[in-house]
Chains A and B, each alone.
Chain A
Amino acid sequence: MDIAELHEIAQQARDRRKPTRIRCCTAAGCLSSGAAAVKTELAQAVKTAGLEDQVEVCSVGCMRFCGHGPLVAVDPSDTLYAAVTPTDAPSILTALNGGKATAAQADPNHPFFAQQQPIVLENSGLINPESIDDYIAAGGYEPLHHALTELTPEETLDEVTRSGLRGRGGGGYPTGLKWATVAKMPAGQKYVICNADEGDPGAFMDRSVLESDPHRILEGMAIAGYAIGANHGFIYVRAEYPLAIQRLKKAIQQAKRYALLGSQIFDAAFDFKIDIRIGAGAFVCGEETALMHSIQGQRGTPRPRPPYPAESGLWGCPTLINNVETLANIPAILRHGGDWYAGIGTETSKGTKVFALTGNITHTGLIEVPMGTPLRQIVADMGGGVPDGGRVKAVQTGGPSGGCIPAHLLDTPVEYESLQALGTIMGSGGMIVMDDHTSMVEIARFYMDFCKGESCGKCVPCRAGTVQLYDLLTQIMAGEATREDLDQLEALSAMVKDMSLCGLGQTAPNPVVSTLKYFKQEYLDLLLPASNRSGAPTVATLS
């Protein structure tokens, strides 16, 4: 494979395209609402109308308007149909010649789309995720070629450092610094891991990227491997994402066939192979040390750090672990340069962030916005606010490790630091909108239930503490708790946070702490009146 061949493949893929393309979303969201049947019917309708030379029906990845699937887009007319049923298929074809389609049309200029800035999702919904040719036609693997043939590993790393990219898994650690740490370890066996164990309730950003643009991840990993001196990568993906796994497997096969993975890629002195490891249903395996244990075939439990994976990771070798979205940014950074990326976003948080917008919101789906976008813009303008005129009460970010942001603070820009100051975290990108019917105590209890079920059980505060926290919240919900119980909830939350071994336990109390911070009255309203308190000393007075 050389650059001429790459361009030829791209040209051929473009030449094969027909004047009209009907793009059908075949990512998990739309598939679950019947997209496969829609696509079959559309293909059938094209056949029936005898338009096979003019019109092609193709599978693409996520078109982001997930709450309104199945989605179908028509090029070049830039029409987007929502909630399409198989019976709508013939009319969509008639509409090509000026007829009226029975399917509802979505406005592609709606703020939901117009205010997005796709970098990670630039190909999502446009290319066929199962076609490497489509990816190459969209400029794919050129950044890898650029790095391998025109840059040294140090220069490649420098682009990433200059981009200001920070870890998108939630921690926000500077990616360039992480890469540099692994790169500076003595030469020898090193690994790259893509953490695709996305498990926060309400989060589906990484799944969409994997299902919509899997080659992007392979390319990002290969570039990372080149920069840090690793020749082997693992994608750790949860078993609950079967379509992502299937598409990743296919992508790896295709890339191998084109020699874009394997030995001497682009005739450079660089070998890189990628293997997939499938999780077995443990949320804690998203924690990097537990993840590495799992890849090694051991029980998925975290271990104390240091040593960090950069120093001693998989089988004791220096290992780079990056989240899906972090790696998905890499090809774009190499294509346009680190300075270009650093020009997007804010002073401390560069680039864009993908959020999975869910909950009590009119437009559920995926959005990619520049860092610094105010939450209110995301929720009210892009998401369309709460359906049926309800009011936003809070926005939850960061999943079980995060917190709730009350409505009056929604003008806060989305940044690592600003969210942290509010007592929540950027997290991996789950954003759950809650309306004023939501009980915040119930929300805290929901997340605690999740954490107690997902605790690996290794350390005492997390294993036993989350159980007691959950029981206390249940007691409060049932109206059977006293002020002393609430004090105990606060004290135990602090203890579990400070004493737990890994991020899961250390952040498990966050939903409790943040709802106590902003919605304490809701807790107080549920407590037993002071006179009913059991154990409260009664003082007899003599008159």
Chain B
Amino acid sequence: MTVKTLKIDDIDVAIAAGSTILQAAQEASIPIPTLCHLEGLTPVAACRMCMVEIEGTSKLFPACVTEVGEGMVVSTNTPKLQGYRRMNVELLFAEGNHVCAICVANDNCELQDLAVEVGIDHSRFPYQFPKRSIDLSHPQFGIDHNRCILCTRCVRVCDEVEGAHVWDVAQRGSACHITSGMDQPWGEVSACTSCGKCVDACPTGAIFHKGETTGEKQRDREKLAFLMNAREHQQWTR
């Protein structure tokens, strides 16, 4: 195994070659905000929250998929990145209908946490107030598209871990939405095993257990982490 050494925010880090900047930062306890990333799922670099600067180039790089290089000098929290991240989260708030006060994930929401982290008290972009639907056809779960940020964790966890591929993305641009089965109501999708992994993976209150009310959403992230670890390292005891 070869090891690469690099500097992240002035901290020297040594890590196995082939690791990502995000992994290196985590090892050095340097926080990099993420949203679409979920350990164990194929990274898609879609949310752009984890963009970092690398010395010697003016481009920004997503830490979740960019491999470490020998002698790399990475900055994760420059004023430019802070400004961009804040705008990025504001864009997310403006494009959906995120009303924390009545959301099942209030106080337990990665989007909300991120907003606090990047210092948002309001969105400078006008809210779009899109007309989005809610699907409550599944006996145990519901999906409220108003709260969806299109991170595609549900799509990936269902496809890659459960192997059911119930979810996918339909349409494009601002019309994009998560769709189930062959564009059927969720409750009619026979491929769904009702495993609930999508509920556990969802960072917001978009996918939830029925019966949960404001601030009551429960996620069993440990179950996901266990499963992914078990598959990767063949360790099947909890």
Quick one: which of A282, A457, A464 contacts B92, CB cutoff 8 A?
A464
- Say which one of B25-33, B170-178, B187-195 lies at the interface with A: B170-178
Quick one: which of B60, B171, B172 contacts A284, CB cutoff 8 A?
B172
The verdict on B45 contacting chain A, using a C-beta distance below 8 Å, is yes
- Say which one of B124-132, B210-218, B228-236 lies at the interface with A: B124-132
Q: Of all chain B residues, which has the CB nearest A456?
A: B172
Q: Of all chain A residues, which has the CB nearest B91?
A: A464
- Say which one of B6-14, B46-54, B102-110, B134-142 lies at the interface with A: B46-54
The verdict on A461 contacting chain B, using a C-beta distance below 8 Å, is yes
- Mask for B142-153, Cβ within 8 A of A = 1, else 0? 000000011000
Q: Of all chain A residues, which has the CB nearest B130?
A: A467
- Mask for A295-330, Cβ within 8 A of B = 1, else 0? 000010101100000000000000000000000000
- CB pair B60–A454 under 8 Å, yes or no, is no
Residues on the B chain within 8 Å of A304, using CB: 45, 62, 65
The verdict on A68 contacting chain B, using a C-beta distance below 8 Å, is no
- The smallest beta-carbon distance between B110 and chain A, in angstroms, is 14
- CB pair B174–A463 under 8 Å, yes or no, is yes
Residues on the B chain within 8 Å of A466, using CB: 173
Given known pairs A460-B48, A471-B126, the reply for A455 and B91 (CB within 8 Å) is no
Given known pairs A455-B173, A456-B172, A499-B84, the reply for A303 and B44 (CB within 8 Å) is yes
The verdict on B75 contacting chain A, using a C-beta distance below 8 Å, is no
- CB pair B125–A468 under 8 Å, yes or no, is yes
The verdict on B94 contacting chain A, using a C-beta distance below 8 Å, is yes
- CB pair A455–B172 under 8 Å, yes or no, is yes
Given known pairs A454-B172, A464-B92, A467-B174, the reply for A501 and B46 (CB within 8 Å) is yes
- CB pair A457–B62 under 8 Å, yes or no, is no
The verdict on B168 contacting chain A, using a C-beta distance below 8 Å, is yes
- The smallest beta-carbon distance between B97 and chain A, in angstroms, is 13
Given known pairs A500-B48, A501-B46, the reply for A495 and B88 (CB within 8 Å) is yes
Q: How far does the alpha carbon of A461 sit from the alpha carbon of B83 in the complex, in Å?
A: 13
CB contacts under 8 Å to A, within B149-193, are 149-150, 168-169, 171-176
Residues on the A chain within 8 Å of B62, using CB: 304, 501
The verdict on A2 contacting chain B, using a C-beta distance below 8 Å, is no
Q: Of all chain B residues, which has the CB nearest A492?
A: B87
Residues on the A chain within 8 Å of B59, using CB: 498
Q: What bracket does the count of chain A residues touching chain B fall in?
A: 20 to 34
- Mask for B89-119, Cβ within 8 A of A = 1, else 0? 0011011000000000000000000000000
- Mask for A20-43, Cβ within 8 A of B = 1, else 0? 000000000000000000000000
Q: How far does the alpha carbon of A304 sit from the alpha carbon of B50 in the complex, in Å?
A: 13
- CB pair A457–B172 under 8 Å, yes or no, is yes
Quick one: which of B47, B84, B174 contacts A498, CB cutoff 8 A?
B84
The verdict on A458 contacting chain B, using a C-beta distance below 8 Å, is yes
Residues on the B chain within 8 Å of A499, using CB: 48, 51, 60, 84, 88
Q: Of all chain B residues, which has the CB nearest A458?
A: B46
- CB pair A452–B173 under 8 Å, yes or no, is yes
The verdict on A138 contacting chain B, using a C-beta distance below 8 Å, is no
Q: What bracket does the count of chain B residues touching chain A fall in?
A: 20 to 34
Residues on the A chain within 8 Å of B83, using CB: 491, 495
A-B contacts at CB below 8 angstroms, number:
91
Given known pairs A495-B84, A500-B48, the reply for A457 and B174 (CB within 8 Å) is yes
CB contacts under 8 Å to B, within A451-479, are 452-461, 463-468, 471
Q: Of all chain B residues, which has the CB nearest A301?
A: B169
Q: How far does the alpha carbon of A452 sit from the alpha carbon of B149 in the complex, in Å?
A: 17
Given known pairs A304-B65, A467-B128, the reply for A453 and B91 (CB within 8 Å) is no
- The smallest beta-carbon distance between A71 and chain B, in angstroms, is 38
Residues on the A chain within 8 Å of B87, using CB: 465, 491-492, 495
Residue among A282, A303, A468, A501 facing the most chain B CB atoms (10 A cut-off) = A468
Q: How far does the alpha carbon of A468 sit from the alpha carbon of B92 in the complex, in Å?
A: 11
Q: How far does the alpha carbon of A168 sit from the alpha carbon of B31 in the complex, in Å?
A: 42
Q: How far does the alpha carbon of A491 sit from the alpha carbon of B124 in the complex, in Å?
A: 12
Q: Of all chain A residues, which has the CB nearest B176?
A: A457
Q: How far does the alpha carbon of A455 sit from the alpha carbon of B91 in the complex, in Å?
A: 15
Residues on the B chain within 8 Å of A54, using CB: none
- CB pair A460–B92 under 8 Å, yes or no, is yes
- CB pair B95–A464 under 8 Å, yes or no, is yes
Q: Of all chain B residues, which has the CB nearest A300?
A: B172
Residue among B45, B60, B94, B125 facing the most chain A CB atoms (10 A cut-off) = B125
Q: How far does the alpha carbon of A322 sit from the alpha carbon of B91 in the complex, in Å?
A: 35
- CB pair B47–A463 under 8 Å, yes or no, is no
- Mask for B53-87, Cβ within 8 A of A = 1, else 0? 00000011010010000000000000000011001
- The smallest beta-carbon distance between A536 and chain B, in angstroms, is 16
Residues on the A chain within 8 Å of B91, using CB: 460-461, 464-465, 468
Q: How far does the alpha carbon of A282 sit from the alpha carbon of B168 in the complex, in Å?
A: 17
The verdict on A521 contacting chain B, using a C-beta distance below 8 Å, is no
Residues on the B chain within 8 Å of A453, using CB: 173
- CB pair A459–B169 under 8 Å, yes or no, is no
- The smallest beta-carbon distance between B115 and chain A, in angstroms, is 13
Residues on the A chain within 8 Å of B46, using CB: 458-460, 501
Residue among B59, B84, B124, B126 facing the most chain A CB atoms (10 A cut-off) = B84
Residues on the A chain within 8 Å of B95, using CB: 463-464, 467
The verdict on A488 contacting chain B, using a C-beta distance below 8 Å, is yes
- The smallest beta-carbon distance between A501 and chain B, in angstroms, is 6
- The smallest beta-carbon distance between A285 and chain B, in angstroms, is 11
- CB pair A458–B44 under 8 Å, yes or no, is yes
Q: Of all chain A residues, which has the CB nearest B51?
A: A499
- Mask for A151-181, Cβ within 8 A of B = 1, else 0? 0000000000000000000000000000000
Residue among A282, A284, A501 facing the most chain B CB atoms (10 A cut-off) = A501
Residues on the A chain within 8 Å of B174, using CB: 452, 455, 457, 463-464, 467
Q: How far does the alpha carbon of A398 sit from the alpha carbon of B224 in the complex, in Å?
A: 46
- CB pair B173–A460 under 8 Å, yes or no, is no
Residue among B171, B173, B175 facing the most chain A CB atoms (10 A cut-off) = B173
Q: How far does the alpha carbon of A304 sit from the alpha carbon of B168 in the complex, in Å?
A: 19
- Mask for A470-510, Cβ within 8 A of B = 1, else 0? 01000000000000000010011001001111000000000
Q: How far does the alpha carbon of A211 sit from the alpha carbon of B184 in the complex, in Å?
A: 41
Given known pairs A304-B65, A464-B95, the reply for A457 and B173 (CB within 8 Å) is yes
- CB pair B94–A456 under 8 Å, yes or no, is no
Q: How far does the alpha carbon of A521 sit from the alpha carbon of B51 in the complex, in Å?
A: 34
Q: How far does the alpha carbon of A284 sit from the alpha carbon of B91 in the complex, in Å?
A: 21
Ordered by A's residue number, 8 sampled pairs between the chains whose C-beta atoms are within 8 Å are: A284-B172, A304-B65, A455-B172, A455-B174, A458-B44, A461-B91, A492-B87, A495-B87
Q: Which 4 A-B pairs have the closest CB atoms?
A: A457-B176, A464-B91, A455-B173, A464-B95
**A457-B175, A467-B128 provided; 6 other pairs, C-beta below 8 A?**
A282-B172, A301-B169, A457-B172, A459-B46, A459-B47, A463-B176
B residues near A, CB below 8 A? 44-48, 51, 59-60, 62, 65, 83-84, 87-88, 91-92, 94-95, 124-126, 128, 149-150, 168-169, 171-176
